[in-house]
Amino acid sequence: MSNQQACSGCGFTHQCICHLIPSVESQIDLVLLTHENELSRDTNTGKLLQQSLKQCESFVWQRKTPPADLIALLEDETRQPFLLFPSEESMECQQAVLNEASNQKPLFIILDGTWQEAKKMLNKSPWLQPIPQVHLGITSESSYTLRRNQNSGHLCTCEVGVELLKTLGEDEPARLINDYYQHYLKVFQADKSGHALK
């Protein structure tokens, strides 16, 4: 058995990549509402967004008690919240920002979990339901390979964040985070195989 410890930052045992984490800024605020099952999954990519993007915060979703700090953000009149959730009611993202957030800073909420968990989080959270829902016009396929049975057309949390930034014209932050994410995928596979990426 190896005595090597996993890095507390990036989570890898054989090759720390903390020095490669970009530090980017955005004109928007981003919130990850994370299903508690994701906290123990090493395949969760929401943490990559949180590590990279200064304007990204994370809250753990609990069915009975909404996070008080997130509720305070939602009630802040200087911000216009949007829930990134494609549905029959959802608006195209750019159009929603133009229509709804004229003098306010957009605050985007991403439900960080599997598609089934995200639907459950929304259905069981009455406080989320009044928030305007938006969707992204995504044409690219996901490159996420860390979980089986991925539905076609579904992106992982980090990819959603990257696509959101691109949609809002923040190409450079999107590129930096995506470069880190793509490298992370390669190192992840190597680390699980018991070695550093060659």
Characterize 103-135 residue by residue with b for buried, 16 or more Cβ atoms within 10 angstroms of its Cβ, and e for exposed.
eeebbbbbbbbbeebbebbbeebeebeebbbbb
d(Cα 107, Cα 29) in Å, to the nearest integer? 5
pLDDT (average), residues 23-46: 93
Nearest Cα residue to 155 out of 49, 59, 50: 49
d(Cα 56, Cα 180) in Å, to the nearest integer? 16
CB neighbour class for 56 (10 Å; exposed up to 12, middle 13-18, buried from 19) = buried
What the block records as the tokens of 16 is: 């720390």
Span 155-181, pLDDT tens digits: 899 999 999 999 999 999 999 999 999
What's the whole-model pTM score? 0.91
Span 104-158, pLDDT tens digits: 999 999 999 988 999 999 999 999 999 999 999 876 778 877 766 555 557 899 9
